[in-house]
Amino acid sequence: QVQLQESGPGLVKPSETLSLMCTVSGYSIGSGFYWGWIRQPPGKGPEWIGTIYHSGTTSYNPPLKSRFTISMDTSNNQLSLKVGSVTAADTAVYYCARQEGGIFDVWGQGTVVTVSS
Amino acid sequence: EIVMTQSPATLSVSPGERATLSCRASQYISRHLAWYQQKPGQAPRLLIYDASTRATGIPDRFSGSGSGTEFTLTISSLQSEDFALYYCQNYDNWPPLTFGGGTRVEIK
């Protein structure tokens, strides 16, 4: 049974770079599927950030593309999300999820990120 | 970008009653529509994909219908555990993948 677990710093200062990790168990991420990152600001709906394919190719939500970088480490079975020059608008719960095509069928529990000085 | 609009924002329903949630796409998306349920403090959970196919383990009181631009999620007889937020999501010709703003189903 595949499981995903996000981890991150919790609190980040404005203008800094945010680094998040997603550890996948029960499936080798390089074997197949797509793997996505989604965020959810307080009181709002989910927002797709981007997806990395098992081949390593990435696809991003156009408004976010310039500051967000998704990568994968198949040896440790982990996904990574980096967000540059964060602002208060990046405050959200960040989720990683397995994708079957465009469908998010397995989600991590999420990690809360607050941007504040 | 395809915009997904959900209505109503809040739906008040008594336990045992039927709930009908709507989702509209700003352009044609065939049947490339998924529904998710989210409870407080939890991640969204996939309920329905391809507009009407229930995900693994989802009770048959949940049903989805529609195609093109108009979609419906129906909960036939609300149980206490069904009071939650529901989101629709488009996956036609992505990127991008887009979600609706959500419908909160609350106890009447």
Could you report the per-residue pLDDT of B60-108, keeping only the tens digit for each?
999 999 999 999 999 999 999 999 999 999 999 899 999 999 999 999 8
pLDDT digits (tens, 9 = 90+) for B38-54: 999 999 999 999 999 99
Q: Which pLDDT score, from 0 to 100, does residue A54 have?
A: 87
**Unique residue bearing structure tokens 């709930």:** B19
How far does B80 lie from chain A, in Å, by closest CA? 22
Query: At A14, which amino acid appears?
Result: P
Q: Do B46 and A103 touch (CB under 8 A)?
A: yes
CA distance B36 to A16: 33
A48 and B97: CB-CB below 8 Å? yes
Q: Give contacts of B44 with chain A, Cβ < 8 Å.
A: 46, 95, 104, 107
Residue B33 in contact with residue B73, Cβ under 8 Å?
A: no
Q: Residue A84: is its pLDDT beyond 90? A: yes
Give the C-alpha separation, A53 to A34, whole Å. 4
Helices (runs of H) and strands (runs of E) counted in chain B: 0, 11
Q: Using alpha carbons only, how large is chain A's radius of gyration in Å?
A: 13
Closest Cβ opposite residue A108 in set B1, B43, B49: B43
Copy the structure tokens of residue B44.
């969204």
Q: What angle do CA A94, A97, A14 make, to 5 degrees?
A: 20
Q: Tell me whether strands A11-12 and A111-115 are parallel, antiparallel or unpaired.
A: parallel
Average pLDDT value for residue range B2-18: 96
**Average pLDDT, stretch B16-27?**
97
A-interface mutation test, from B23, B97, B99, most A Cβ less than 10 A away:
B97
pLDDT of residue A65: 84
Structure tokens at B49: 């994909």
For chain A, the average pLDDT equals 96
